Amino acid sequence: MTIKYAPIEIKAIEEKGLDEGSFSAVFSTFDIIDADGDVVRRGSIPAVEVPVTWGHNWGDIPIGKGVIRTTDRNAVIDGRFNLDIPKGREAWSTLKFMGGLQQYSWGFKVTEESYGEQDGRKVRFIDGTEPMEVSPVLVGSNPQTGTLSVKAGERCPTCGAVKSASADEGDSQPNEAEQEEADRMIAVALMEVLAQ
């Protein structure tokens, strides 16, 4: 099994009608080189239901489940934590608390791969996968991913991260230019951290 880690980037802060315990997150971005030298290609991730574990801890019970869907650019999980168990409640609380610091990863079997070059680097192209699970983690390898919806929070105008806020404070959706600037600032910050 292969495990890919992906940092979170907040895409939308609050979504009306989102059930408690629910979340949506981009866990893979297609056609970019990740920290492992892999390129996950568009069309390589099927739409399936998978368990959610914390930090790929397969020795513990799952903390939730979700359905994978894809866009032209990303793989997304629309999930729900199991709030009937303490670890599910802890995971949901932690996701909201961590905001822009939270990262994601996914575990999968590679079913089709090839090797070549992209952007002057030798890479492995991942052309087919069998997803096994998606996990919130501390550190990820894919720099262009993020949370699409959370129930509460407000965007920091400087870095794009989510600050704690109550769900009653109303919806706050960034416009495209604000999102692009936040994405740029997060990418710059990540590059600075990686260069150290």
**Alpha-carbon separation of residue 187 from 142, 143, 191, 192 (angstroms):** 11, 7, 6, 9
Q: How many Cα atoms are found within 13 Å in the side-chain-facing hemisphere of 28?
A: 31
Burial of 196 (0-12, 13-18, 19+ CB in 10 A): exposed
Walk along the chain (196 residues) and give the pLDDT tens digit of each residue. 666 655 443 333 344 455 788 888 889 989 999 999 999 999 999 999 999 999 999 999 999 999 999 999 999 999 999 999 999 999 988 888 887 777 888 999 999 999 999 999 999 999 999 999 999 887 777 766 655 665 543 443 333 443 333 323 333 444 565 555 555 555 554 455 445 4
Return the ∠ at Cα 47 (arms to 129 and 106), rounded to 5°: 50
Compute the distance between CA of residue 195 and CA of residue 27 in angstroms, rounded to an integer. Answer: 23
Compute the distance between CA of residue 185 and CA of residue 163 in angstroms, rounded to an integer. Answer: 16
Q: What are the strands, taking DSSP E only, across the chain?
A: 2-7, 22-29, 38-40, 49-52, 64-70, 74-81, 103-118, 121-137, 146-149, 154-155, 162-163
**Alpha-carbon separation of residue 31 from 9, 51, 74, 79, 91 (angstroms):** 18, 25, 9, 24, 30
- Rounded to two decimals, the pTM is 0.70
Return the structure tokens found at 76.
């997304």
